[in-house]
């Protein structure tokens, strides 16, 4: 049986040990605190939102299609928005594009907003013209979007390498393409089906495209949605044209606004 003094001493030591353990746990938890958990120094710095405008320039004046080239049967500018629209009377027979004539894009970033009412569209980049196929027809990389939300976020290649129109990276996928071509999955960024929820179907969405050498990243509504490292020495294209797609199919409307470009 413990004497009173020994009992007090043991209790004190137990309490002190518990206190030290709690303190150690608090220190360890703070050291492992995720970004935004209140720590402004140490292992995790303060992360700031990416600046939407620093170094970017608008490539649409909000009023006209000056600097852009496409079939005005389908494309127009109104109230700060580039509008592409088909009707039962104005039918698209071949996928064609509204092409930016401000120069070729190589290493760059593009930020814009889009709203799609039907069918399919996409942001074409590092692309080449195919006059033998038709006027305003492009081949190359495309940040995809569709009203069924089956392809939105994909890195598509319009009229691309084997087997033709091909998805280089599905939504939620990071891929590497090597000579062959061989398509390799490096990692996943999330389940493709669950990532459908990133898209505001029928509403405004934000696309952010980053291209640096063989690396292309596509960010949709703040989520890294797909990425590719294209190391196919035969088919990879380092620079080319930028454009917006007018897709075949039922009547629909596609709108683009706040189009910002930064050369890297």
pLDDT at position 42 is: 83
Asked if 104 and 241 count as a contact pair (C-beta separation under 8 A), the reply is yes
Q: What angle do CA 213, 161, 235 make, to 5 degrees?
A: 35
pLDDT at position 41 is: 63
Backbone CA torsion sign across 217, 219, 222, 224: negative
CB atoms within 10 A of CB 131: 8
Q: Exposed, middle or buried: residue 251 (CB in 10 Å: 0-12, 13-18, 19+)?
A: middle
Query: Tens digits of per-residue pLDDT, 19-35?
Result: 433 333 333 334 444 55
Q: Where are the alpha helices (DSSP H) in the chain?
A: 4-31
pLDDT at position 50 is: 84
pLDDT at position 40 is: 55
- For the chain, list residues with pLDDT below 50: 1-33, 36, 38
Domains of the chain: 1-48 (no CATH), 57-263 (2.60.120.560)
pLDDT at position 144 is: 98
pLDDT at position 201 is: 96
């Amino acid at each position: 049986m413990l004497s009173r003094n020994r009992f007090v001493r043991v209790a004190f030591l137990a309490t002190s040990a518990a206190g030290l353990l709690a303190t150690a746990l608090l220190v360890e938890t703070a050291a492992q605190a995720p970004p935004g958990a209140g720590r402004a120094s140490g292992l995790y710095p303060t992360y700031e939102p990416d600046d939407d405008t620093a170094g970017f320039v608008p490539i649409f004046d909000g009023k006209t299609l000056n600097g852009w080239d496409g079939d005005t049967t389908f494309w127009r500018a109104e109230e700060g928005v580039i509008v592409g629209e088909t009707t039962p009377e104005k039918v698209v027979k071949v996928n064609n594009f509204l092409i930016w004539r401000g120069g070729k894009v190589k290493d760059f970033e593009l930020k814009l907003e889009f709203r799609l009412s039907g069918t399919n569209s996409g942001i074409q980049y590092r692309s080449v013209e195919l006059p033998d196929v038709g006027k305003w027809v492009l081949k190359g990389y495309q940040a995809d979007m569709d009203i069924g939300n089956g392809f939105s976020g994909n890195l598509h290649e319009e009229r691309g390498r084997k087997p033709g129109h091909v998805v280089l990276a599905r939504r939620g996928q990071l891929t590497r393409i090597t000579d062959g071509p061989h398509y390799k999955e490096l990692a996943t960024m999330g389940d493709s089906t669950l990532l459908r929820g990133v898209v505001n179907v029928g509403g405004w969405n934000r696309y952010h495209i980053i291209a640096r050498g063989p690396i292309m990243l596509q960010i949709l509504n703040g989520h890294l949605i797909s990425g590719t490292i294209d190391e196919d020495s035969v088919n990879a294209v380092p620079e080319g044209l930028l454009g917006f797609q007018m897709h075949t199919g039922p009547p629909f409307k596609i709108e683009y606004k706040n189009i910002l470009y930064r050369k890297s």
